Chain A
Amino acid sequence: MANELNFSNRKFIIGSIVTGVIIIYLIRLFTLQLMSDDYKKNADSNAFRKEIQYPSRGLIYDRKHRLLVYNESSYNIMVIMNDQRGIDTLDFCRTIGITKDFYIKRMEEIKAKTNYSRYTPQVFLSQIPSQEFSVFREKLFRFNGFSAEKRSVRHYTSGIAAHILGDMGEVSNADIEEDNYYQSGDYIGKLGVERSYEKQLRGEKGMRIMLRDVHGRTKGHYQNGKYDKAPIPGKDLMLSIDSELQALAERLLEGKLGAIVAIEPSTGEILCMASSPSYDPRLMVGRDRGKNHQRLNSDPMKPLLNRAIMGTYPPGSTFKLTQALIGLQEGSIDPTISFPCHHGFNYRGLHVGCHSHASPISLIPALGTSCNAYFCWNLYRLFSNRSRFKSTQDAMTRWKDHAVAMGFGYKLGVDLPGERRGMIPNAQYYDKAYRGRWNALTVISIAIGQGEVTATPLQIANLAATVANRGFYYIPHIIHDIRGSQIDSIYRTRHYTLVDRKWYNYVVAGMRRAVTHGTCHSANLPGIEVCGKTGTAQNRGHDHSTFAGFAPMNDPKIAVSVYVENGGWGNTYGVPLGALIIEQYLNGKLSPESAKKADAFQHKHIKYADYAR
Chain B
Amino acid sequence: MPDNSPRNPAFTADWVVIVIFLALMAFGWISICGASHEIGDTDFLSWSTRTGKQLVWMSCAVLLGFVLLMVDDRYFDTLADLLYWVMIGVLFITPFIAKDIKGSHSWISLGSISLQPAEFAKCTTALALAKLINRYGFTLDNMRNLAQAAGMVLLPFALIVMQRETGSALVYLSFFLMFYREGMPGSFLFTATAAVVYFIVGIRFSDVVVPMTHTSVGEFSVLLMIWLFTAGLVRVYCPHTPHATRLFVWGGTATALALLFSHFVIPFDVAWVQVGVCIGMACYLGWQALGERAGRYTLIALFALGSTAFLYSANYTLNHILEPHQQVRVRVLLGMEESITDAGYNVNQSKIAIGSGGLLGKGFLNGTQTKLKYVPEQDTDFIFCTVGEEEGFIGSAAVLLLFLALILRLVYLAERQTTKFGRVYGYCVLSVLFFHVLINVGMVMGLMPVIGIPLPFFSYGGSSLWGFTLMLFIFLRIDAGNKPRLA
A residues apposed to B, CB below 8 Å: 3, 7-8, 10-11, 13-15, 18-19, 21-22, 24-26, 28-30, 32-34, 36-40, 42-44, 46-48, 211-214, 219-220, 222-223
Contacts of B392 in A (CB 8 A): 33
Least CB distance from A211 to B in Å reads 6
Determine whether the beta carbon of A22 is less than 8 Å from that of B401: yes
Interface window among B218-226, B319-327, B369-377: B369-377
- From B71-79, B101-109, B298-306, B347-355, give the one contacting chain A: B347-355
| Alpha-carbon separation in the docked complex, A376 to B88 (Å) | 122
> With A and B bound together, what is the CA distance between A46 and B407 in angstroms?
37
Residue of B181, B186, B355, B442 near A36 (CB, 8 A) is B355
Q: Enumerate chain A residues within 8 angstroms of B29, measured Cβ to Cβ.
A: none
Which of A8, A34, A212 contacts B372 (CB under 8 A)?
A: A212
27 CB-based A-B contacts, threshold 8 Å: A7-B181, A11-B414, A14-B181, A19-B408, A21-B438, A22-B403, A22-B404, A26-B397, A29-B393, A33-B357, A33-B358, A33-B392, A33-B393, A34-B358, A39-B352, A39-B354, A39-B355, A40-B358, A43-B352, A43-B353, A44-B356, A46-B369, A46-B372, A47-B368, A48-B368, A213-B372, A223-B366
Contact check, B183 vs A29: say whether CB atoms are below 8 A apart. no
> Which residue in chain A gives the minimum CB-CB distance to B447?
A28
Question: Are the CB atoms of B355 and A33 closer together than 8 Å?
Answer: yes
A40 touches B369 (CB 8 A): no
Compute how far the CA of A37 lies from the CA of B404 in the bound complex, rounded to whole angstroms.
28
Which residues from A are CB-within-8-Å of B177? 14
Tell me, yes or no, whether B400 is within 8 Å of chain A by CB. yes
Interface residues in B394-414 by Cβ distance below 8 A to A read 396-397, 400-401, 403-404, 407-408, 411, 414
Are B372 and A39 in contact, with the CB atoms below 8 A? no
B45 interface residue per 8 A CB criterion: no
Interface pair B352/A18, CB less than 8 Å apart: no
Interface string of B177-217 (1 = CB under 8 A from A): 10011110010000000000000000000000000000000
**Chain A contact residues, majority secondary structure:** helix
The answer to whether A43 and B438 have CB atoms under 8 Å apart is no
Which of chain B's residues have a CB closer than 8 A to the CB of A48?
368
**Quick one: which of A3, A8, A30 contacts B141, CB cutoff 8 A?**
A3
- Complex Cα spacing A209 to B100, Å: 41
Chain B 417-431: CB-based contact to A (< 8 A → 1; otherwise 0): 000000000010000
- Report whether A219 and B400 are in contact in the complex, using a CB–CB cutoff of 8 Å: no
Please indicate the chain B residues that have their CB under 8 angstroms from the CB of A46 in the complex: 349, 352, 368-369, 372, 374
Q: Are B369 and A47 in contact (CB under 8 A)?
A: yes
Q: Which of A25, A32, A214, A222 contacts B374 (CB 8 A)?
A: A214
- In the bound complex, residues from chain A placing their C-beta under 8 Å from that of B369 are 43, 46-47
State A354–B41 Cα separation when bound (angstroms): 94
Residues of chain A within 8 A (CB-CB) of B404 are 18-19, 22
User: In whole angstroms, how far apart are the Cα atoms of A214 and B376 in the complex?
Assistant: 10
Distance A25 CA – B445 CA, assembled complex (angstroms): 8
Do B356 and A11 touch across chains, with their CB atoms under 8 A apart? no
| A223–B39 CA distance with the chains assembled, in angstroms | 10
Q: Does B415 contact A (CB under 8 A)?
A: yes
Q: Give the docked Cα–Cα distance between A432 and B354 (Å).
A: 73
Q: List 6 other contacts, CB 8 Å, given A42-B356, A214-B374.
A: A7-B181, A10-B180, A22-B404, A39-B356, A42-B355, A46-B374
Residues of B within 8 A of A36 (CB): 355
Closest to B373 in A: A214
**In the complex, what distance in Å separates the CA atom of A46 from the CA atom of B349?**
9
- CB-defined contacts of B437 to chain A, threshold 8 Å: 21-22
Tell me which residues across on chain B come within 8 A of A43, comparing CB atoms: 352-353, 355-356, 368-369, 374, 389
Give the residue name and chain of the B residue nearest to A21 (CB). B438
Which chain A residues lie closer than 8 Å to B58 at the CB level? none
- Interchain nearest-CB distance for A109 vs B (Å): 24
CB A214 to nearest CB in B, in angstroms, measures 5
- Please determine whether B368 and A211 come into contact, CB atoms closer than 8 angstroms: yes
**Chain A residue nearest to B442 in the complex (CB):** A25
| Set of chain A residues within 8 Å of B358, measured between Cβ atoms | 33-34, 37, 40
Given contacts A18-B407, A26-B400, contact A38 B355 (CB under 8 A): yes
B28 CB to closest chain A CB (Å) equals 18
CA distance A275 to B462 in the complex (A): 83
Note all chain A residues with C-beta closer than 8 A to B349: 46
Cβ of B139 < 8 Å from any Cβ of A? yes
B388 within 8 A of A: yes
Q: Are A219 and B393 in contact (CB under 8 A)?
A: no
Closest to A9 in B: B181
If over half of B's interface residues share one DSSP class (helix, strand or loop), that class is named, otherwise mixed; here it is: helix
Measured as residues with beta carbon below 8 angstroms from the partner, the interface class of chain B is 35 or more
Sorted from nearest, which 8 A-B pairs have the closest CB atoms? A39-B355, A47-B368, A43-B356, A213-B372, A40-B356, A32-B355, A33-B393, A22-B404
Measured in the bound complex, the distance between the Cα atoms of B426 and A14 in whole Å is: 13
Assess the B183–A7 pair: CB atoms within 8 A.
Answer: yes
Complex interface: chain A residues within 8 A of B180 (CB): 10, 13-14
Residues of B within 8 A of A19 (CB): 404, 408
In the assembled complex, B434 has its CB within 8 A of some CB on chain A:
yes
Are B401 and A15 closer than 8 Å at their CB atoms?
no
- Check if B359 is an interface residue, CB within 8 A of chain A: yes
Say yes or no: A8 contacts B415, CB within 8 Å: yes
In the complex, chain B residues whose CB is within 8 Å of the CB of A8: 415
**A219:B372 contact, CB within 8 angstroms:** yes
Q: Which residue in A29, A40, A42, A213 is a CB contact (below 8 Å) of B396? A: A29
In the complex, are the beta carbons of B352 and A42 less than 8 A apart? yes
Cβ of B239 within 8 Å of any chain A Cβ, yes or no, is: no
Instruction: Kindly provide the distance from the CB of B31 to the nearest chain A CB, expressed in whole angstroms.
Output: 15
B383 within 8 A of A: no
A29 lies within 8 A of B400 (CB): yes
Whole-angstrom CA separation of A29 from B397 in the bound complex: 8
B2 close to A (CB within 8 Å): no
Task: State whether A32 and B445 are in contact (beta carbons under 8 Å apart), knowing that A7-B182, A14-B180, A46-B352 are contacts in the complex.
Answer: yes
Mask for B148-160, Cβ within 8 A of A = 1, else 0?
A: 0000000000000
Among A30, A33, A37, A211, the residue within 8 A (CB) of B39 is: A211
A220 to B349, CA, bound (A): 21
Q: How far is the CA of A44 from the CA of B408 in the complex (A)?
A: 38
Cα–Cα, bound, A520→B177 (Å): 113
Shortest Cβ distance from residue B365 to the other chain A in the assembled complex, whole angstroms: 11
Cα distance, A39 to B368, chains bound together (Å): 12
Q: What A residues does B403 contact at CB under 8 A?
A: 22
Complex-state Cα separation, A38 to B356, whole angstroms: 8
Q: A residues within 8 A CB of B139?
A: 3
Q: Determine which of A11, A22, A220 lies in contact with B181 in the assembled complex, contact meaning CB atoms within 8 Å.
A: A11
Q: What residues on B are CB-neighbors of A47 within 8 Å?
A: 368-369, 372, 374
The residue on A at minimum CB distance from B359 is A34
**A212→B372 CA distance, assembly (Å):** 7
CA distance A48 to B366 in the complex (A): 13
Q: Which of A22, A213, A220, A223 contacts B400 (CB 8 A)?
A: A22
Cβ contact within 8 Å between A14 and B372: no
Q: How far is the CB of B42 from chain A (nearest CB, A)?
A: 13
B351–A18 touching, CB < 8 Å = no
Docked-complex contact A40 and B434, CB < 8 angstroms: no
**Nearest Cβ in chain B — how far from A349, in angstroms?**
87
- B6 interface residue per 8 A CB criterion: no
B331-344: contact bitstring with A at CB < 8 Å (1 yes, 0 no)?
00000000000000
| Minimum distance in angstroms from A219 CB to a CB of chain B | 5
Residues in chain B near residue A38, CB distance under 8 A = 355
Q: Complex: how many Å from CA A46 to CA B359?
A: 20
Question: Separation in Å of the B220 CB from the closest CB of chain A?
Answer: 26
CA distance A29 to B351 in the complex (A): 10
Among the interface residues A3, A14, A15, A19, which one has the most CB atoms of the partner chain B within 10 A? Answer: A14
A11 shortest CB reach to chain B, Å: 5
Q: Specify the chain A residue showing the minimal Cβ separation from B403.
A: A22
B441 within 8 A of A: yes
The CA-CA distance from A383 to B313 in the complex, in Å, is: 101
Chain A residues near B445 (CB-CB < 8 A): 25, 28-29, 32
For the complex, what is the distance from the CA of A213 to the CA of B141, rounded to whole Å?
Answer: 56
Taking the nearest CB of chain A, how far is it from the CB of B129, in angstroms? Answer: 16
- When C-beta atoms are compared, the residue in chain B nearest to A45 turns out to be B352
